[in-house]
Amino acid sequence: MNPLNHIRNFLRIDDRLATSGMPQPADFERFTRVLDACAGQRVFVHCAANKRVSAFVFLHRLSRGTDRGAAESDLNFHGGELGAY
């Protein structure tokens, strides 16, 4: 049994995002469209290394008007690293 079947509204975006190396702007645009479609809902976003998803969530929050300091504080609290991303 696949444990992901127990996550309500699970949406696999693309297996290649997790293994293809450096994300491209089109990957972020797709990520943003998916999050925007889930507006007002709780969303669990996962990345094995917590780097790409941290960068994407950080950028998404900035693009939606979150104060940079608050977004950076949350990023650091959750263990994200901007690094090369």
Overall domain count for the chain:
1
pLDDT in tens, 3-55: 655 555 555 666 555 545 677 888 888 889 988 988 888 887 877 666 778 88
Per-residue confidence (pLDDT) for residue 67, from 0 to 100: 94
Of 83, 21, 30, the closest CA to residue 60 belongs to 30
Structural domain for 62, as ranges? 44-85
Tell me the C-alpha distance between 23 and 58, whole Å.
Answer: 14
* 27, 19 Cβ separation under 8 angstroms: no
Q: What is the pTM of this model?
A: 0.65
Count of CB atoms within 10 A of residue 42's CB?
Answer: 7
Mean pLDDT of 50-66: 87
Could you tell me if residue 30 is inside a domain?
no
Q: Rounded CA gap, 79 and 54, in Å?
A: 8
Q: Is residue 50 part of a domain?
A: yes
